[in-house]
Amino acid sequence: MDSFEMTKIAGAVLSALLLIVGTKTFIESTSHRKLATPGYELPAAAEPAAVAGAEGAAAEGAAAEGAAPAGGDIGPDAVALLPKASAENGKAIFAKCKSCHTADKGKPNGVGPNLFGVVNRAKAKADGFKYSEAMVAKSGEWTFENLSHFIADPKSYVAGTKMVFKGLPAAAERADLIAYLATLADTPVPLPK
């Protein structure tokens, strides 16, 4: 085959591609479909109604004391399930947490603090971890109730937390996870009866 034949073949292939691309472009430019809203609608978690003014402060105070926040009962229901909670199930649920947290004694902190011994530990007190100012300002200990509130919705329990996890809304999952966290200590914390 000589170079003239090769040129004719290359020209035919390029002409076919030009015809296909040109036809597609022409069709797209003449059909003016406009989307009602540009982009994609992302699913959003249902957020509790915002509590304004003094009610917001009251809800925050109630959460700090371990009571249910004004927006709904997200903590005590999981605590009530603790006597029947499964630490084994909680260990499987903890897999969601492993991308940020470690749970073995002596292991370094990850993106989040090491959770070994977290139950009944003072808030914002994991050695060597730099907590957000909001978490440092939160006083008290990680009781079962406080852990349940925080795990249910971290950003509503500690506004300004660096934790990006949305939370576990299911009370049974929170109870199982808390039961597992209670085992992560030199002396495991007994669950309520």
Could you identify the residue written with the tokens 């079962």? 144
Say which range, 41-55, 70-84, 156-170, has the weakest mean pLDDT: 41-55
Q: Is the pLDDT of residue 160 over 80?
A: yes
Do residues 181 and 115 touch, judged by C-beta distance below 8 A? Answer: yes
pLDDT value for 31: 74
pLDDT value for 54: 39
What mean pLDDT comes out for the span 24-48? Answer: 66
Q: Is the pLDDT of residue 193 over 50?
A: yes
What mean pLDDT comes out for the span 8-16? Answer: 94
pLDDT value for 142: 94
pLDDT value for 45: 54
Note the pLDDT tens digit of each residue in 104-155.
Answer: 998 999 999 999 999 999 999 988 999 999 999 998 999 999 999 999 999 9
Say which range, 16-25, 58-67, 89-98, has the weakest mean pLDDT: 58-67
pLDDT value for 122: 94
Do residues 128 and 122 touch, judged by C-beta distance below 8 A? Answer: no
Domains of the chain: 73-183 (1.10.760.10)
pTM higher than 0.85 for the full model?
no
Confidence of residue 40 (pLDDT cuts 50, 70, 90): low
